[in-house]
Amino acid sequence: MTVDNSADRQQPSSDQQTPPQQPASEQPAPPKRRGMPGNAKSMIISMLVVAAAVLGWNALVPRVEKVNRPGVDVAGIARETNISQKWTVSYPQPAPKGWIPANVRVVKFEKLPPTWQAGYDLPDSRYIAVLQTDKPDELWRKQQTNYGTEQGTLQAGGATWTKYYRPSNKQVSIVRAEPLNGMATIVTGKADWDQLVTFAGLLKPAATS
């Protein structure tokens, strides 16, 4: 017969019982790192991508120091002007190296006579033009010199010229005392007096046929 010895088994005394487990103290969760808002982050990434593309494109594009403008056929335009207007216009011949013809035409303004204009860009970013007409008057002279004040005279190309200067835009002009091949002649621009003298000394008549 099986004997039940459970009654004889010793039960642990109350002072020997395992103390109840205390719950572990909860550690505060670390604060969440504030990230960059999605829109701002995307914008910055897009800007960086565009900047990199632009830098790459610039590296591939050849650099030029100066943009070359198409050549102007001064001789041809002057010849046609002589034929159509029955004039004998002039322009610098030969033009010094680096002088680029920019405005070559007959200009027509209200209340002013038709005017031959041959303007040149100079290498130092300056500009000089010759202006001529066969029907000059005082208003024409004032308009072409931009109402500059008289500054005396000088010699250029074997002729006497009267100097005019407008200080507000530093425009200098010289007006030939006598017509050149029947044309009243003014040389004007933003340049030095010496450059105007050089320009005036190179003026020669264009072909008439």
Q: What mean pLDDT value characterizes the chain?
A: 81
Burial class of residue 74 (count of CB atoms within 10 Å of its CB; 0-12, 13-18, 19+): middle
Tokens at residue 157, please?
Answer: 């190309």
**Predicted pLDDT of residue 109:** 87
Which of 105, 184, 182 lies closest to 144, judged by CA? 184
Per domain, the residue ranges of the chain are 97-205
Q: What is the pLDDT of residues 177-197, one digit of tens each?
A: 999 999 999 999 999 999 999
Structure confidence at residue 6 as a pLDDT band (50, 70, 90): very low
Structure tokens belonging to residue 195? 């450059």
- Residue 93 DSSP code: S
Give the helix ranges, DSSP H, for the chain.
38-60, 74-85, 138-144, 193-201
For 138-190, write each residue's pLDDT tens digit. Answer: 999 999 999 999 999 999 999 999 999 999 999 999 999 999 999 999 999 99
Please state which CATH number belongs to domain 97-205: 3.40.1000
Q: Can you tell me whether residue 13 is helix, strand or coil? A: coil
Mean pLDDT calculated for residue range 49-57? 55
